[in-house]
């Protein structure tokens, strides 16, 4: 028998405020047409004043618990993937733990920027397989609007806020790739690329939170290459091929990256969950948001083979293959 980490529930939260591309047209030298054609983004959500990453994460976690028919006391661990925590410390995850009324278990944050949810999922899987935890809430939550330079048109139009969560539970499997649950993961990073996407502030440097800086075009070229390679590597570890995949649920940074990666993987866009038009790039929140939307609209069903893949600052990138 093999222990598998199976998704029992999924949920998300988006701030009420929707910001259309026209909002930027009124403020900076850009156009709805440029944003749509270059990125696929039509609108994004921005958190309200006083609305924090942990608040959104708590709402997403509650939705995932509801979806699973479970209560917070059933959970042993909370992992939050975020680069925009409420405070430098304590972790956002411990704030979520308290917000859910949990008095036991453990909680910590994972920081791998836009790849954070993939890294958190792989960590949660390792903890479940090793017997450290039985039920883990894995959350991606971000308030990127707070680290955007609203004068920098090459970045400020691309990002949004939100949170998504999945509840993983240990289950006995056969060890074959017909099992439900996480089947394989592939994680990578290369710190030589730090200048491509970073924030120009931090605790031990400026003492400020800083603003996001990105070399979009070179990153774009790295993204397609590395995302296809990591998805292939994870599928190979799971003993599956492209033909076995029901859904690719990619990090939602840019529709052209999503389409380019699908093409490289020889997959149709009919098998890709796309939310970038409505959410923009929500960094670590984008994949759990897309999983939640994909399940709610009937795309992702039980037993479907799902590949999640992401790349972000670091660079850090990876993929997880699971049977829903
Ligand atoms: O989440 C982590 C991963 N993130 C990513 O993977 C993002 C990767 N990069 C991208 O998505 C794309 O590179 C962008 C959407 C950021 C940019 O698209 P691009 O096709 O690479 O455009 P570009 O950077 O080559 O810029 C083309 C032109 C430039 O003008 P010139 O130099 O050709 O005259 C920019 O100044 O577009 C200009 N531009 C804009 N124009 C109108 C840049 N931003 C804007 C804007 N509105 N908002």
pLDDT of residue 1: 84
Measured by CA distance, the residue closest to atom 11 of ligand 1 is: 254
Active site residue 114: yes
Does one domain contain both 302 and 186? yes
Does one domain contain both 136 and 213? no
Residue 9 scores a pLDDT above 90:
yes
Distance 38 CA to ligand 1 centre (A): 7
Does one domain contain both 8 and 149? yes
How do residues 58-69 score in pLDDT, each as one tens digit?
A: 999 999 999 999
Does one domain contain both 236 and 191? yes
Distance 42 CA to ligand 1 centre (A): 15
How do residues 186-205 score in pLDDT, each as one tens digit?
A: 999 999 999 999 999 999 99
How do residues 88-101 score in pLDDT, each as one tens digit?
A: 999 999 999 999 99
Does one domain contain both 32 and 148? yes
Q: Which domain holds residue 37?
A: 2-173
Does one domain contain both 18 and 159? yes
What does the alpha-carbon distance between residue 48 and residue 121 come to, in Å, rounded to a whole number? 28
Residues in contact with 149: Cβ distance below 8 Å, sequence separation at least 6, in sequence order: 155, 156, 211, 212, 213
pLDDT of residue 89: 98
Residue 167 scores a pLDDT above 90:
yes
Q: What is the pTM of this model?
A: 0.97
Structure tokens at 229: 């390679």
Q: Which of 124, 144, 173 is the last residue of a domain?
A: 173
Active site residue 281: yes
Please indicate whether residue 223, judged by its CB atom, sits closer than 6 Å to ligand 1.
yes
CA-based nearest residue to 9, from 193, 137, 152, 122: 137
Does one domain contain both 163 and 284? no
pLDDT band at 72 (very low <50, low <70, confident <90, very high): very high
Does one domain contain both 57 and 126? yes
Domain CATH number, residue 110: 3.40.47.10
Distance 202 CA to ligand 1 centre (A): 25
Q: What percent of the chain has pLDDT over 70?
A: 100
Mean pLDDT of the chain: 98
Does one domain contain both 301 and 253? yes
How do residues 214-238 score in pLDDT, each as one tens digit?
A: 999 999 999 999 999 999 999 999 9
Pairing of strands 43-46, 17-20: antiparallel
Q: Which of 145, 173, 201 is the last residue of a domain?
A: 173
| Count of the separate structural domains present in the chain | 2
């Amino acid at each position: 028998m093999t222990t598998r980490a199976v998704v029992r529930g999924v949920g998300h939260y988006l701030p009420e405020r929707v910001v259309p591309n026209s909002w930027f047209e009124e403020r900076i030298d850009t156009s709805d047409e440029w944003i749509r054609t270059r990125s696929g983004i039509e609108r994004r959500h921005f958190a309200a004043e006083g609305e924090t990453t942990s608040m959104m994460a708590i709402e997403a976690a509650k939705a995932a618990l509801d979806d699973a028919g479970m209560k917070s006391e059933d959970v042993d661990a909370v992992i939050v993937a975020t680069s925009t925590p409420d405070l430098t410390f304590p972790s956002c995850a411990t704030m979520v733990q308290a917000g859910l009324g949990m008095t036991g278990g453990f909680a910590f944050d994972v920081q791998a920027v836009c790849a954070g949810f993939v890294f958190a999922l792989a960590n949660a899987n390792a903890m479940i397989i090793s017997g450290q935890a039985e039920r883990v809430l894995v959350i991606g939550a971000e308030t990127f609007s707070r680290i955007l330079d609203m004068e920098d048109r090459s970045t400020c139009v691309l990002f949004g806020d939100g949170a998504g969560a999945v509840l993983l539970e240990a289950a006995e499997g056969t060890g074959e790739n017909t099992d439900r649950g996480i089947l394989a993961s592939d994680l990578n990073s290369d710190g030589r690329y730090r200048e491509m996407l970073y924030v120009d502030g931090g605790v031990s440097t400026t003492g400020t939170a800083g603003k996001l800086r990105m070399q979009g075009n070179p990153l774009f070229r790295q993204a397609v290459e590395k995302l296809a390679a990591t998805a292939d590597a994870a599928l190979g570890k799971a003993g599956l091929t492209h033909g076995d995949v029901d859904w690719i649920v990619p990090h939602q940074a840019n529709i052209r990256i999503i389409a380019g990666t699908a093409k490289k993987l020889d997959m149709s866009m009919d098998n890709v969950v796309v939310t970038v038009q409505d959410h923009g790039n929500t960094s670590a929140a984008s994949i759990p948001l897309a999983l939640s939307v994909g399940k709610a609209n009937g795309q992702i069903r039980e037993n479907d083979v799902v590949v999640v893949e992401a790349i972000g600052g670091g660079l850090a990138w990876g993929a997880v293959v699971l049977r829903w």
